[in-house]
Amino acid sequence: MSVKLAILFYSTYGTNHAMAKIAADAARAAGAEVRLLRIAETAPAEVVNAQDAWKAEAERQTDLPVATAADLEWANAYLFSAPTRFGCAPSQLRAFIDTLGGLWFQGKLANKAVSAMTSAQNAHGGQEATLLGLYTTFLHWGSIIVAPGYTDPAVSAAGGNSYGYSHTQGADMDDKTKAAIGHQTKRLIEIAAKLA
């Protein structure tokens, strides 16, 4: 069975959108069927439109489908990417997760491989807490967490977050970034294929 990977991202200014696209490219190169999906914006339009960078990123995403529960039912692997907000996942992603109770109740999120990535404005802005918080949710689902660990030199070269790739806002998305995201994505696909 081939891996069907749903890459679900929320991105205010473009960092997690870029990370998700890197992951999608790596997943396709590894032979996975990929759906690149944006998490719906829940902030009021007047708030988004009042910030030029936020508005521009929202416009860049309009060609991408919004994630739905049906996408999670379709997939046999998930990769989430979202910024850190006060040490947690942003409310937009939490609101989406809160819509998944029906799938969870039916066991349709269980036994699927899952991993996560994040970003923050500074290097110690709560990235690990965000990832661990998401992993707590995934444990409730019965999903199988596939963190990168220190299973490849690319993880340490890109900052060494064994829970999942984390990016510091404003830093270049260089070859080290691409290698770390690529490794995490390929590892997720490898484990998902074994589970399938």
Q: Where are the domains of the chain?
A: 4-195
Place of tokens 């770390």: 180
Structure confidence at residue 160 (pLDDT) = 85
The tens digit of pLDDT for each residue in 122-154 reads 888 899 999 999 999 999 999 999 999 999 999
Do residues 27 and 187 lie in contact, with contact meaning Cβ atoms separated by under 8 Å?
Answer: no
Count how many residues are written for the chain.
Answer: 196
pTM: 0.96
Other Cβ atoms closer than 10 A to 146: 24
Which amino acid appears at position 157 of this protein? A
pLDDT digits (tens, 9 = 90+) for 80-94: 999 999 999 999 999
State the fold for domain 4-195: Rossmann fold (3.40.50)
- Of the chain, the percentage scoring pLDDT greater than 90 comes to 93
Cα-trace Rg, the chain: 15
Is 126 in contact with 90 (CB distance < 8 Å)? Answer: no
Of 140, 175, 158, the residue nearest 26 (C-alpha): 175
User: Sorting pLDDT into bands at 50, 70 and 90, what band is 1?
Assistant: low
